[in-house]
Amino acid sequence: MRRYWVAVVLFVFAVSFSCSKKKETATNTSSADLSSWSAMQPHLQAQRFLPERMNVKAKVKYRDEYGRFTFTSNLRIIRNEKIWLNASFLGFEVARVLIRPDSVFAINRWDDIYMAEAMENMEDAIDVSLTYPQMIDVLMGNPMIWENNVESYDVTSKGFAMRQVVDPFEIVQKVDRQILQPIFMSVLDRQSKYLIEASLSDHKRLNEKLFFSYFRDYIIKEDNAQLSQIQINITDVDTTAVKRTPFSIPAHYTRM
């Protein structure tokens, strides 16, 4: 059961790596102008996007050692209040997650179990150390590396690669040469040894200032052994509609 909850929370962490603020056309900045981190950093910092709310619908393919599943998912974010996520299989909701700044709740309808933890106890509960602000920044799709110093910064044939350590996380980010947006990220929790690798593609316009990656491929590993793969095909996203975020724990469910 422990692995189930790790997958659920890491899915929340991974589901929206790449919603990022972009210009309408490719940047005119040459690679020579961005040969150092000090030159790149202001561009990435300017792309941080924090709308008050976000609603996402997706079709998800999930694979692990136990089999393959295809399900639909809804993600709803109210920036300063909550993150709400559910997953449905053949029209039946199988999981629901509610994350607040100080707490995390989740229900597994397949097994009639639930999780209820204070945010500061998350690491003890599932071996994953995350804070609410970190989750929001990632779920809004902001670049994972955008401030402070980096351990390495390289100009490659396809763009730019950078590495940063923010204990306990080791983060790698690859940025496309033309649009200066992340096309690959990896986040290693060096305490739990969990690793998420994210490949981002199929960027489309969401509004005048915002582009969105409509296809993401995530690999989750532990000690370099693959635990699962999550492929997400976004079917709808907006930042204006007010959506319901109901959450309750049935009386007969067992706490994990």
CATH number (domain holding residue 86): 2.50.20.10
Of the pLDDT bands very low, low, confident and very high (cuts 50, 70, 90), residue 125 is: low
- Residue 100: the pLDDT is 92
> Exposed, middle or buried, 40 (CB in 10 Å: 0-12/13-18/19+)?
buried
> Exposed, middle or buried, 216 (CB in 10 Å: 0-12/13-18/19+)?
buried
pLDDT-above-90 percentage for the chain: 31
Can you give the pTM of this predicted structure?
0.77
Angle of CA points 97, 169, 16, to nearest 5°: 40
- Residue 127: the pLDDT is 53
Q: How far apart are CA 79 and CA 168, in angstroms?
A: 24
Q: Is the dihedral of CA 15, 232, 182, 27 positive or negative?
A: negative
Of the pLDDT bands very low, low, confident and very high (cuts 50, 70, 90), residue 1 is: very low
Cis (ω within 30 of 0) for the bond into 168? Answer: yes
Written as one letter, the residue type at 83 is: I
Written as one letter, the residue type at 4 is: Y
For residue 141, the enclosing domain spans: 2-255
Domain total of the chain: 1
> How many beta carbons lie within 10 A of that of residue 183, not counting itself?
19
Tokens of 244: 């319901």
